[in-house]
A and B are shown apart, each in its own frame.
Chain A
Amino acid sequence: MGKVTIIMVLGLSIAFGIISWSLNRSNTEAIEATTGYVKYSTARNIARSAINLKLRSIDDNKPLGQTLSGSMMGGTYRVDSIFASNDSIGFRSVATVSDTIYRIRTMMQRTPKPFPNITAACGINVDSVKFDTDGKPVINGNNHDINGNLISPPVVTNNLPGVETKSKFDSATVKNVSPKPAIIYGSPTAIGVNPGMANPADFIEEYKASADTIMTTDIAKEKNVTWGTPTNPVIVYIRADPGKTVTIAGNLLVYGVLVIEGSVKVSGNVTLRGLLIPYSNSKIEVDLVGTAQIIGAMLMGGAKGSDLELKGTSDIKYSKAALQQAQMIGKLLFYRVLTWYEDYK
């Protein structure tokens, strides 16, 4: 009887042990299957988010080719640039969560957001503009290269008028400045009339909101300031409060878009490769009295009777190439996926 009992107890123990082990194994496998999917999903989310972070870093003017790496959501990521040209970029994003690796390889087309349609080296979208010149200002609507050299031989279709106004009255104002009118070149005419010219008001709010640098104070004479690079153009917003004038007396070099709101006096050496937008809802005064050199174009907008003074040796040289370069400001780009491939292991 005792032996039978012992055998029964042992047998039952073994049977319960096997059942218990099977149950535990099933539970463990079910959990592993679920957590495996969680790891895979998390890795995928990290890889995708990493590409968004990379695009954000481009917005923030980080170098395009710079590898981006870090950790988030319990995993790590690394994004490498595998291709870059003016209009397209390629990335490889690798995310790791525990033993799961998720990879994305993508090519994207990048296009600038709508940019003001530039139809002259100096567009004046102001009614009854007060235009005054002195010294030797030169406004040239013929196309220049990115360094400000006149394209030779010229491609006639790429040349524009030197100055454009909204009305004949204003074009006459520009033309009849005395005693020292500006030297204006352009094609087909030096001074043109374009009632439908681009209005800075359509773009200004976005430029102000996306500005990389906001200046509200003077730039002193001894200061050397550079904003942007040829491959990384920026938006600079200089704002003069009502009743005040911001004076730029130092040496300023800007690649991209320079927005000036209010009254600004440029007396130093200012070089802009891109687009200059003097703008305000109220009357403004823009005095270029130093050696301002604008390679690209200028588009002015302001209330009736606003003032534009070009003095000293200010040059405005139309450059299609400089404007194209200025459009590629990181924050003002659209991205469109051309190819997107993802896999995991």
Chain B
Amino acid sequence: MVSMLDIIGATIIAGMVMLIIFGVTANLNQTLYTSTFSLNVQTSAVSLARTIEYDFYKIGYNVNKTSDTCITYADTNQIRFKTDLLNTGSALNRIVYRSANLITGTRNPRDRVFVRQQDNSQINAEIGVTRFNLTYYNVNGSKMSTPITHKDSLAKIKSIQVKLFIESSEPVLKTDNPSDTLTSYIGVSWEKLIYPRNL
């Protein structure tokens, strides 16, 4: 009888320990999951920010402004410009930045393909860009209405505000809504007003 009680007691305790272990493991997995997505989002944001800064600060470099335009098209989600990206002094590069179609292969309903095109080479980045917004300002700091297509108006652009929001491709955070368990996404926002010195 005593042995039976020992076995039953041990089984209950073992079950409780197992439940605790499963709970802890689940929480750890969740944390790991969140941490990994957070890392991905942060790394993507930093990489993209550095790429944008690298390119945007060179807008118009080595462009003959009397016969050519530095920025050839400017809209809220797209910009096209010319620059001598690698300081070769020989040929100008044509660079395009734009956010394109929604990505269908992820659960995030807002992430879009982010496109960087350099001459004939195009990179379609599916890194969770949910917002890519460009605002243009003239020499007086006044906001310019978009799209800007005319040569004279394009020549008046002196600064560009870039707003970028990157989210995880999968939901990772629980919301306060009890019926809605995993619908929140980790996000990173980056915003900068860039004054390309060659404009």
- Within residues 292 to 345 of chain A, which ones have a CB less than 8 A from any CB in chain B? 337, 339-344
A106 touches B43 (CB 8 A): no
Q: Chain B residues with Cβ under 8 A from A27's Cβ? A: 35, 39
B32 touches A30 (CB 8 A): no
A22 touches B39 (CB 8 A): no
- Sorting the interface of chain B by its residue count into under 10, 10 to 19, 20 to 34 or 35 or more gives 20 to 34
A340 touches B197 (CB 8 A): yes
Contact pick for A34, options B42, B53, B198, CB 8 Å: B42
Cβ contacts A to B, 20 pairs, < 8 Å: A23-B28, A26-B35, A26-B38, A26-B39, A29-B39, A29-B43, A30-B35, A30-B38, A30-B39, A30-B42, A33-B42, A37-B49, A40-B50, A337-B197, A339-B61, A339-B198, A340-B57, A341-B58, A342-B58, A343-B87
Type the 1/0 row for B60-87, where 1 means its CB is closer than 8 Å to any CB of A: 0110000000000000000000000001
The answer to the question of B182 belonging to the interface, with a C-beta cut-off of 8 Å to chain A, is no
B39 touches A33 (CB 8 A): yes
Q: Sorted from nearest, which 6 A-B pairs have the closest CB atoms?
A: A340-B197, A26-B35, A30-B39, A37-B46, A26-B39, A33-B43
A342 touches B57 (CB 8 A): yes
- Within residues 1 to 60 of chain A, which ones have a CB less than 8 A from any CB in chain B? 12, 15-16, 19, 22-23, 26-27, 29-30, 33-34, 36-37, 40, 44
Q: Chain A residues with Cβ under 8 A from B32's Cβ? A: 19, 22-23, 26
A340 touches B39 (CB 8 A): no
Q: Chain B residues with Cβ under 8 A from A15's Cβ? A: 25
The answer to the question of B142 belonging to the interface, with a C-beta cut-off of 8 Å to chain A, is no
Q: Chain B residues with Cβ under 8 A from A340's Cβ? A: 57, 61, 197-198
Q: Chain A residues with Cβ under 8 A from B50's Cβ? A: 37, 40
Q: Chain A residues with Cβ under 8 A from B53's Cβ? A: 44
Q: Chain B residues with Cβ under 8 A from A342's Cβ? A: 57-58
Residue among A16, A23, A30 with most chain B CB within 10 A = A30
Q: Chain A residues with Cβ under 8 A from B43's Cβ? A: 29-30, 33
- Sorting the interface of chain A by its residue count into under 10, 10 to 19, 20 to 34 or 35 or more gives 20 to 34
The answer to the question of B144 belonging to the interface, with a C-beta cut-off of 8 Å to chain A, is no
- Within residues 1 to 56 of chain B, which ones have a CB less than 8 A from any CB in chain A? 21, 25, 28-29, 31-32, 35-36, 38-39, 42-43, 46, 49-50, 53-54
- How far is A60 from B36 in the complex, measured between Cα atoms in Å? 53
Q: Chain A residues with Cβ under 8 A from B87's Cβ? A: 105, 341, 343
- Measured CB to CB, the nearest residue on chain A to B61 is A341
A343 touches B39 (CB 8 A): no
10 more contacts with CB within 8 A, not counting A33-B42, A340-B198, A344-B54, are A23-B28, A26-B36, A27-B35, A27-B39, A34-B42, A37-B49, A106-B197, A339-B198, A341-B58, A343-B54
Q: Chain A residues with Cβ under 8 A from B62's Cβ? A: 339
Q: Chain A residues with Cβ under 8 A from B25's Cβ? A: 15, 19
- Measured CB to CB, the nearest residue on chain B to A48 is B197
Q: Chain A residues with Cβ under 8 A from B38's Cβ? A: 26, 30
B162 CB, nearest partner CB in chain A, Å: 15
- How far is A19 from B33 in the complex, measured between Cα atoms in Å? 11
Contact pick for B46, options A26, A33, A344, CB 8 Å: A33
- Measured CB to CB, the nearest residue on chain B to A44 is B53
- Measured CB to CB, the nearest residue on chain A to B18 is A8
- Measured CB to CB, the nearest residue on chain A to B87 is A341
Q: Chain B residues with Cβ under 8 A from A341's Cβ? A: 58, 61, 87
B38 CB, nearest partner CB in chain A, Å: 6
- Measured CB to CB, the nearest residue on chain B to A40 is B50
B21 touches A36 (CB 8 A): no
Q: Chain B residues with Cβ under 8 A from A30's Cβ? A: 35, 38-39, 42-43
- Measured CB to CB, the nearest residue on chain A to B34 is A26
- Measured CB to CB, the nearest residue on chain A to B29 is A19
Asked whether A337 and B39 contact (CB < 8 A) given A19-B28, A37-B46, the answer is: no
Q: Chain B residues with Cβ under 8 A from A40's Cβ? A: 50
Q: Chain B residues with Cβ under 8 A from A29's Cβ? A: 39, 43
B127 CB, nearest partner CB in chain A, Å: 13
B2 CB, nearest partner CB in chain A, Å: 17
- Within residues 91 to 149 of chain A, which ones have a CB less than 8 A from any CB in chain B? 105-106
B61 CB, nearest partner CB in chain A, Å: 5
